[in-house]
Structure 1
Amino acid sequence: MYDPSMRVLTVLELLQSREEVTGAELARRLEVSPRTVQRYVARLQDLGIPVEGRRGVGGAYRLKPGFQLPPLMFTGEEALALALGLRALTHLGLHALAPAAQGAGAKLTRTLPHALRDDVQALELSVQLDASPWVVGTDATLLSVLLRAVRGQCAVAFTYAAPRTPPTTRRADVYRVVHLDGRWYAVGHCHLRGALRSFRLDRMQALSVLDEPFSPPPDFDALAYLRSTLPERAAHDVSVWLAAPPELLRGHVSGWHTDLSPENGGTRLRARRDNLSSFAAFLLGLGCDFRVDSPPELRAEFGRLAQRSAALAHYTDP
C-alpha cells in the first residue's frame, strides 16, 4: 500500500513529466478516488506548488507554465545531509537565516515519507552542535547580494571599515566568496589598490551592485590566495593539565584550535598557538593550578614573565 506522502509526491512527479494529466488518470494510477486526488492537489498547492486545474468533463491538472521544481525524492543520506546543513547555518555566522532554516526544515519533514521523516526527527532530538564563539556573524542579505554580483560578474561598491583605520569607499570585482576560520571573505580585484585584495564581509557596509561587468581570471583559487595572505598561526603544539573541570573552563578558554577533555580530576588542554608569551599570561590569569607538559618554549616564557614581574614590582616612579 502506498504511503500518503508518497502518493502526493507521485502526483507531483506525474505533473512534472507531462504537460497535462487528467484527474481520472491520476485516480487510476494512484488507485484512489477522484476526490482523494483533489486532496492531494490541494496539499501540493498548500506547499506553494502552482498546480492549475480544469473543471468539468475530462478535467485535468497541470503545473503553471514555466514552473520547474527540483526533484523532491530524497535518499536517506540526502535527507540527512539537508537536515544537518540547515542546522549548521548559524555555525557559519548566518544567524539571520535561522527562521528560514526552520521553515525549510519543516517543509522538508512534511514532504518526506514516514521512515525518512522519523530519521530526520530523530536527528533533531539527538544531535547537538556546539557554536564556536569565534565564528563572526555575517549579514545574510549582504551575502546574498554579493553572491548575485559574483554570479553576474558585476563589480560592487561598498564602505569598508577595518579596525583602527577610517572607513573607506571601495569598488571591487569580486571573483569568489570564501568562508575560512569562522569568517566570510570577498576576494577579488580592488579598484582603489589596483591589486588583489580580500575583504571581511562583517566589515562591509552599504553594498551595491554596479552596472560594470568584468571577467574573472580562469581557475582562480580564492582559498589558496586567502591562506597565503593571512598571518601564519598555530606554530606550537601545546599540552597543559589544569586543576579545574572542563565545564568551569569553557567560556574562559578560546575555542580556537583548542580541545578540552577531562583528565585526573582536572582538564587536559591541547591547543596550537603561535604567541606563547600571551598564552602564558593567559594561563596565569585563569586562577587555577596547572602543569605545562609541552612545549619547553612555553615553560621558558614563564621565566621571562617572572623577570618582568619582578622588575615592575621594584620599579619606582622617578
Structure 2
Amino acid sequence: MATSAVQSSYAEEEEHRVASKAARLRRIEHRLYNAPEGLRVSDLARDCGVTRRTIYRDLEALESMGVPIWEDSGRFGINRATYLSTIRLNLNETVALYFAARLLAHHSDEHNPHTVSALDKLAAGMPAGTVAEHIARVADLVRERPVRTAYVRILEVLTLAWAEQRMVRLRYRAPNRELTERDVAPYFIEVSRSAPAAYVIGHDRLRAAIRTFKIERIETAELLDESYTVPTDFDPYAFLARAWGVMDETEVEVQVRFSARVAPQIRESLWHHSQRLTELANGGCELVMTIGGIREVLPWILGWGADAEVLAPPALCAEVQAHARRMVALYDGGQAS
C-alpha cells in the first residue's frame, strides 16, 4: 500500500513537472516573439523563476520543436519571418476558420501566396475528410487568380511595419490626384466589407493627422528605421464604428425606405450596428443608420435598384437621382443631364 502511494505521488510530481515545463516553454516562446531586440538568458531565468542552465535547455528544446531561435551577442530571439506558431483547433473551430477562408476567397480578387500557404497548412493539419478537402479547394481557388507581385510586396512591407511599429514611406496616388510621398505610422490594417480592398490606417506626417490609405493605390512602400508608438487613446474599432466600410467621414443619418419585395432580406441582416428598423403597413420597412459619410453606402443603396428610396440626407438622395438619370440616358441612348 505504501509503495503504491509513493508511486502515485511520484507520478503526480512527474506530471506536474512536465506540465510546468510545457507552460514555461510557451512563456519563453511568447516572450521572445514579442521582444524584437532579443532577451538575455538571465532575463528569461528571472522571469520564469529557474536557473540559467534550465533556460539554455529550454531554448534547445524550442529549437528541436522547430522554433527559429537566433542568438546575437548574448541575446536570444525568434526569427519572425520564418516563425510558425503552434495552434491546436477542434473540428468546430476549424470550420469557423473555413468560413473565414471562404469569405476571404469571395472577397479577394488576386492570388496572395501567403493566403494560399496559410490555407494549405490549415488543410494539411486536419484529418483527411470533407472539411480538409474543401479548405484545400479554397486554396486552389485563390491560387488560380492572377498574381500582383507589387501589391503582395507592398502588403508585406506594411505588415512588417505594423507588427514592429516602424514608420513606412509610401508613394500614394489617390484618384484624380498627383502622386504624393507620405511617411506613415501604420496603426491598423483593415479589409473593407463592401469591396475587395484592403486599407492601412495610420498617422500621416504630411497631413499631421490620421488618414486611411487604400493599399491598391500605393505604388511603393519603403520600411524605415524610425519607430513609433500607437497612442493609447487610439482604438481602431471605435475609429471604424461609424464607417459603412472603412472611410470615417462626417457623421450623417441615412434613412432608406425598402419595398415589400426586398424587406425580408433587409430584416434578416444586421447592416450596421447603429441601425433602427421600422415596419411599414404595406409590408416594406424603413432603415435608419448613423454612419460616417455617404460615399461608401451609395453603391450598396444603388444595388437595391427601385426597391430602395433614399429619404435622407438630401445629398445622398441627390446622388442616387443623378445616377438614375445617367442610367436612363445610357439605356435610352440619350444624353445624361
With normalisation by structure 2, the TM-score equals 0.47
Which protein has greater RCO, CA pairs closer than 8 Å, 6+ apart?
1
TM-score where L is the length of structure 1: 0.50
